[in-house]
């Protein structure tokens, strides 16, 4: 069975990167957007990165503009926004599609390993579910990711061990990362 180490991606400057370069590390792979209601997730993500990277943790950031056009900028604009507003230092990759016929193979793999199980309970989550269903209708059975800031936790062997929707409390995400780091 494939692991994330079998995939190659493009960094924000256009260079090909093999994810095997991250072998032995715990990874959190996230699709992001600079104009989303969940954009403040960058703050706890960066805090987690600063606190845990010396223990073998990496966050891989993949901007995506497929959800209500909330990441319209080019790679430089997105990077500047993230570094200036949130001080992000974790690796940021080229803007990609996560759904549809042009979905990045990495995200197809991630989403088929850990599929969507819902946004949780509550009025806000129900509203988000309704909105995402309308947005993702155009992708049909290739709507792998429901919204920005979906996070996938990868163990040190490159296996997908958890999926966190953007509605998941970031404290829950951090706890799972810390447990995997040991």
pLDDT in tens, 17-33: 999 999 999 999 999 99
Rounded Cα distance between 93 and 31, Å, is 10
Question: pLDDT tens digits, residue range 27-69?
Answer: 999 999 998 989 999 999 999 999 999 999 999 999 999 998 8
Q: Is 56 exposed, middle or buried (0-12, 13-18, 19+ CB in 10 A)?
A: middle
Domains and CATH numbers, the chain: 4-181 (3.40.30.10)
List the catalytic residue out of 36, 45, 78, 94. Answer: 36
pLDDT for the residue numbered 137: 83
Which residues, 6 or more positions from 134, have their beta carbon under 8 angstroms from its beta carbon? none
What is the C-alpha to C-alpha distance for residues 128 and 119, in angstroms, rounded to an integer? 8
**36 carries an active-site annotation:** yes
Burial tier of 117 (Cβ tally within 10 Å: 0-12, 13-18, 19+): exposed
């Amino acid at each position: 069975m494939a692991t994330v180490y079998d995939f190659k991606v493009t960094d924000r400057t256009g260079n090909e990167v093999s994810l095997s370069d991250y072998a032995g590390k715990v990874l959190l792979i996230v699709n992001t957007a600079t104009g989303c209601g969940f954009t403040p997730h960058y703050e706890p993500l960066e805090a987690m990165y600063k606190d845990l990277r010396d223990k073998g943790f990496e966050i891989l950031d993949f901007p995506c503009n497929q959800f209500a056009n909330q990441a319209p900028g080019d790679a430089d604009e997105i990077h500047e926004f993230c570094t200036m507003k949130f001080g992000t230092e974790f690796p940021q990759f080229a803007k990609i599609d996560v759904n549809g016929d042009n979905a990045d193979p990495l995200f197809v793999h991630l989403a088929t390993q850990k599929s969507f199980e819902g946004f949780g309970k509550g009025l806000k989550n129900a509203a988000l579910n309704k909105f995402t269903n309308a947005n993702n209708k155009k992708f049909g059975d290739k709507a792998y990711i429901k919204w920005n800031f979906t996070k996938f936790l990868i163990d040190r062997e490159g296996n997908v061990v958890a999926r966190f929707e953007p509605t998941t409390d970031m404290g829950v995400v951090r706890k799972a990362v810390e447990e995997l780091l040991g």
